[in-house]
Structure 1
Amino acid sequence: MEFACSHVVCNWRSESLTEDEAKVSNQGSASTLPCLSRAQSVCDHPYDNRVTFVQTPAPSMAPPPVPPRTIQRRETLCSALPPPIPPRGPENNGETRLKANVNVVSLKVGSLVDIGKASAIQSSQKPVRCGKCNAIMSSASSSEMHQKTIIWNCEFCGKENVYPQTTLKGGRFALRNPPGRDILYLDDDEDTDYENLDDLLIVLCVDISGSMSVTSEICPGNSTRSPTYISRLQGVQEALQMVLCSLQKTSPHRRVALVTFNNEVTVYGDGTKVPLTLRDWALMDYDYLKKEGENYSTPHCITETIQPLTQKIKELREHGATALGPAALISVAMASQFTGSKVIICTDGQANIGLGQLDQESSYCPAPSPYFYNQLAHYAAEKGVIVSVMTFEGEDCRLAEVGRLADHTGGRINIVNIGTVATEIQSAIADSVLATSVMATLLAPDGIYFPYEEDNHRLVREIGNVTDGVEITFQFAVRPEKVESFQQRDRVPFQLQLSFKTRDLQKVTRVITQQKRVTTSSWVWAGSLNMSVLGVHCAQLCARLTMEGRVHEAQRQLTAQQDLLKDISQQKPSPKEESIYGNWISTMSMICEDLTTVNQGIRDNKTETDTIPASRTPSTASLSDAAANVVYQMKRAKSVSGKGQRVATLEQ
């Protein structure tokens, strides 16, 4: 776990609460938020979170000084009196009013699930859990061993847990606190057989509708010859043949299946059997398509099937409509037979027939159904299938909806052209699955909540499949009515429980427990802020809020984070830092412009029709494929290391 701030800022509060945060705040009795200033009396203030930077003659390698912990007693103040004037001494120089929450934690999940490189202590014993909040006893826990029992007062929820020693011994539970802060609990109870991930299945799901006949110039003409054009389908055919040849050389045991779709879905499999064709009513039956895919015979390895599969690809011809939804469903069902398999979808138009159709003007289906892709994404993630989606540039494929398949399963989302489609397919195939069924649980003491996530102190996030480089962030805050009690604490514990299955299907639970110091005021030293963590969190949060339809909240968060990044940069002028975050700020500005366009589209729709079509949420009402692609990249923002520093970057 990596925190953006060296301390927990107790009295953070947004300038104007969202509906979710307002519910949390209303649960307390305090209507105003206590706020402390250095060496000042306690006062009621709606929002007072500052960044202070004190210039020093030379940079120091020592950590920033711990803020003073002296809490003065609240005195009765007349309501007519104004709040105390902030100090005018050196500590007030460079003061900036901060609206962004700096209580942010980052989890580099891609590294945490790679147990081969983990420095954690491995344990074959079972973890001891709290009977109320499900926290795991750790080195930070205070437990007492009696003659026949062990008593543990949970540091997160306060419950007194009493465990008979005989029960713990019989169940292979630990009798004492684990020795380290990072423990790997390995589950020996296997319910599945070992699977060789080199034998996994790759399903190529290809659009052969009429729009795939659109041509592009690949070789300009001159005085002696005419320019050369090829269709999109021809470009995909050449790309697939290149991919098959590459797989035969690098992964000869890999299995590959082909599925095509237009106004019907054709399953060629490995090309050695009679194709399975699905049309008419079958394209509307979810259970039937799922069953057909799950029961489809396992393809042979690419070494044995490359010739018939290549021949089937060469014979493809473009015509008809776009049954993308049914083709995606049966492809995922086929891949679900092997955990870690991949589905690569290549299309150039909106789905307009069968399940998941999105074209509102289509006569094939009366009601568009974008929520189909959410359902299919959850099914794929549950089965450990990674779905990648590739659309052609210049087209409206409703990537905001279809892209959910890749976003939820850890696949790639790309807009391609004839010249880049082969490279992107190769990249999608090369992505290695590190873990599946990944679930992250973050616990903090009772009184802390997670804005935009959960209104209690326990947060659970289903991650699904994880590849290298995956990083997720959360922000947390102290409930207004709990601020004073937290300010009197020396440290606050946090615990991450990461449960997952490794590549060889080993069940693992990784438990990391850390304690953070608490500030007694909203003064935060600029040197203690991890700008990389804040930048990644800003990107992920704003993009997620946009896709959830909470566009105004995303804009407000984006503005606050941009102001924070700008203010810190001004207070700590450094050409190196400005270079690191220059690209980041420009990317954020582009997203802000996209969000403004979305809001304008919503207002225009309301003016003309008074309603927004049920098929489009406010977040996707006017998102072009290009804008949706950028938003999805923002959701996968991550930090990378370079020359001793970290910088926020977007997935390419």
Structure 2
Amino acid sequence: ALAVSVGVAGGARGSRVVLFTDGLANTGVGKIRAGESSPFYLDLAQAASELGVSVSVLTLEGENCSMENLGTTADITGGQVDIADASAMTESVASILKLAPVATAVECTFVLPRGLRVQHDWAAHARTMKACYGVATRATDVTVRFACDAELIDEVRKQSEQQEEEQAWDLLDEAGGAPAADKKRALHLQAQLRYTSSTGKAMLTVIEASLELTSSRDHAEEALNSTVAALSAIHRAAQLAQQGLYHEARLTLISTQRLLQRAMRTAAHQRDYLSFVVQAEKLDQFMREVQQQEAVFGSKGGGGRHQQRDDEAAKAIFQMKAVSSAAFHARH
């Protein structure tokens, strides 16, 4: 039924399919065996994304539907996942449908300067990186984490040391005069956003930004956008959790929480910190419990953990991978 629905909806880009299920699929091409992965849902999600169709999954509390498998369709197509009480089903459906798609076939190409790279999952020296996001609504927020190569870090550190030395000589100069101005270094980043609008037009938006480099931790933390840092950490931790890398995911959450604490200077920073604690706990709770169980009964390792996740844990991962800034600040 899901495959047929996607095929029918594919006739109009931007269509939405909501899958209601009260248990495990046990017949047809989408049959799921408990504890096993089903490639059918991954293939279907990729087909739906190409057709410009988003798929959301809604199931009932207390029922095992293998959200680990079904949620893949929402994860790839830009849909949502939820587990609702039967009495609140109407509200859950309304929440899923309230945001209409504004773009399909969304992809972004990043053009990177020398010394800057995508932090995870890409070739270390690639100058361009393309990511596909499927269907987007006005609430869609995505984050990408970048890092500097070791050579650039050394270059910035040496430049900073040289500036400090020059300023010290200026202060000792008997002739007086103003200290030398800081020679700030910046990297220029370009993002090329391609998508199909709700009217069917192919669109291209080019965004450029300059990223100032510094070797000063205090300077970096003063300039921190706490909302972006928090949201990025939650997205990344959810990606790691999906791979079964719970230790790495929890380290990401813990290190970011400490960063937000150090950089807390305004009321807005405090609100972001509290929102982060609330949202991060949705991920950390089940990972913490799994690690405690494995410490007692033995570890299954990252590769087999996804087969053991219950629907609530899978829901938390999918929701946190796609959490928007609006949902992040809602804290409910």
| TM tier, smaller | 0.7 to 0.9
Aligned to 1:514: 209
For residues 12 and 311 of structure 2, the distance between their equivalents in structure 1, rounded to whole angstroms, comes to: 31
Residue 604 (structure 1) shift: 7.1
For residues 651 and 633 of structure 1, the distance between their equivalents in structure 2, rounded to whole angstroms, comes to: 13
Residue 564 (structure 1) shift: 1.4
Aligned to 1:564: 259
Residue 507 (structure 1) shift: 0.9
Is residue 586 of structure 1 aligned with residue 278 of structure 2?
A: yes
Aligned to 1:649: 329
- TM-superposition CA deviations, 1:73-111 (whole Å, max 9, x none): xxxxxxxxxxxxxxxxxxxxxxxxxxxxxxxxxxxxxxx
Aligned to 2:306: 620
Residue 617 (structure 1) shift: 4.7
Is residue 386 of structure 1 aligned with residue 54 of structure 2?
A: yes
For residues 576 and 477 of structure 1, the distance between their equivalents in structure 2, rounded to whole angstroms, comes to: 26
Residue 635 (structure 1) shift: 1.3
Residue 496 (structure 1) shift: 0.4
The correspondence of residues 9-48 of structure 1 with structure 2, limited to 5 A, is none
Distance 1:602 1:629, change over 3 A: same
Distance 1:541 1:484, change over 3 A: same
Gaps of 5+ in 1: 1-326, 362-367, 641-646
Query: Which of 245, 253, 261 is the aligned partner of 1:550?
Result: 245
For residues 4 and 223 of structure 2, the distance between their equivalents in structure 1, rounded to whole angstroms, comes to: 51
Residue 510 (structure 1) shift: 0.9
Choose 514-523 or 503-512, whichever is displaced more: 514-523
TM norm structure 1: 0.43
Residue 624 (structure 1) shift: 2.2
Aligned to 1:632: 318
Aligned to 1:449: 117
- TM-superposition CA deviations, 1:27-69 (whole Å, max 9, x none): xxxxxxxxxxxxxxxxxxxxxxxxxxxxxxxxxxxxxxxxxxx
The correspondence of residues 209-608 of structure 1 with structure 2, limited to 5 A, is 327-360=1-34, 368-454=36-122, 455=124, 456-485=126-155, 490-569=185-264, 572=265, 577-600=269-292
Aligned length: 305
Q: Is the CA contact (8 Å cut-off) linking 1:598 and 1:620 kept in structure 2?
A: no
For residues 80 and 239 of structure 2, the distance between their equivalents in structure 1, rounded to whole angstroms, comes to: 17
Distance 1:579 1:558, change over 3 A: closer
Residue 423 (structure 1) shift: 2.5
For residues 272 and 154 of structure 2, the distance between their equivalents in structure 1, rounded to whole angstroms, comes to: 38
Q: Is the CA contact (8 Å cut-off) linking 1:346 and 1:391 kept in structure 2?
A: yes
Residue 591 (structure 1) shift: 1.9
Task: State the SS of the aligned residue for 2:87.
Answer: coil
Which structure: larger Rg?
Answer: 1
- TM-superposition CA deviations, 1:103-143 (whole Å, max 9, x none): xxxxxxxxxxxxxxxxxxxxxxxxxxxxxxxxxxxxxxxxx
Q: Which amino acid aligns with 1:649?
A: H
Q: Is the CA contact (8 Å cut-off) linking 2:99 and 2:139 kept in structure 1?
A: no
Distance 1:398 1:602, change over 3 A: farther
Q: Is the CA contact (8 Å cut-off) linking 1:497 and 1:512 kept in structure 2?
A: yes
Gaps of 5+ in 2: 160-183
Residue 446 (structure 1) shift: 2.4
Task: State the SS of the aligned residue for 1:473.
Answer: coil
For residues 381 and 525 of structure 1, the distance between their equivalents in structure 2, rounded to whole angstroms, comes to: 38
Residue 588 (structure 1) shift: 1.4
**Percent of matched pairs sharing the same residue:** 27
TM norm structure 2: 0.82
Residue 541 (structure 1) shift: 0.7
For residues 567 and 619 of structure 1, the distance between their equivalents in structure 2, rounded to whole angstroms, comes to: 34
Residue 533 (structure 1) shift: 0.7
Query: Over aligned residue pairs, what C-alpha RMSD do you find?
Result: 2.7
Q: Is the CA contact (8 Å cut-off) linking 1:408 and 1:464 kept in structure 2?
A: yes
Q: Is the CA contact (8 Å cut-off) linking 1:385 and 1:409 kept in structure 2?
A: yes
- TM-superposition CA deviations, 1:421-452 (whole Å, max 9, x none): 12322333343110111111112212221112
Aligned to 1:268: none
Aligned to 1:152: none
For residues 69 and 330 of structure 2, the distance between their equivalents in structure 1, rounded to whole angstroms, comes to: 20
Q: Which amino acid aligns with 2:191?
A: L
Q: Which amino acid aligns with 2:221?
A: A
Residue 523 (structure 1) shift: 4.3
- TM-superposition CA deviations, 1:229-250 (whole Å, max 9, x none): xxxxxxxxxxxxxxxxxxxxxx
Task: State the SS of the aligned residue for 2:320.
Answer: helix
Q: Is the CA contact (8 Å cut-off) linking 2:222 and 2:263 kept in structure 1?
A: no
The correspondence of residues 143-158 of structure 1 with structure 2, limited to 5 A, is none
Greater fraction of residues in strand: 1
- TM-superposition CA deviations, 1:534-573 (whole Å, max 9, x none): 111111111111112332221221111122123333xx3x
- TM-superposition CA deviations, 1:503-533 (whole Å, max 9, x none): 1111111111122222144443533111111
Task: State the SS of the aligned residue for 1:517.
Answer: strand
Q: Is the CA contact (8 Å cut-off) linking 2:13 and 2:52 kept in structure 1?
A: yes
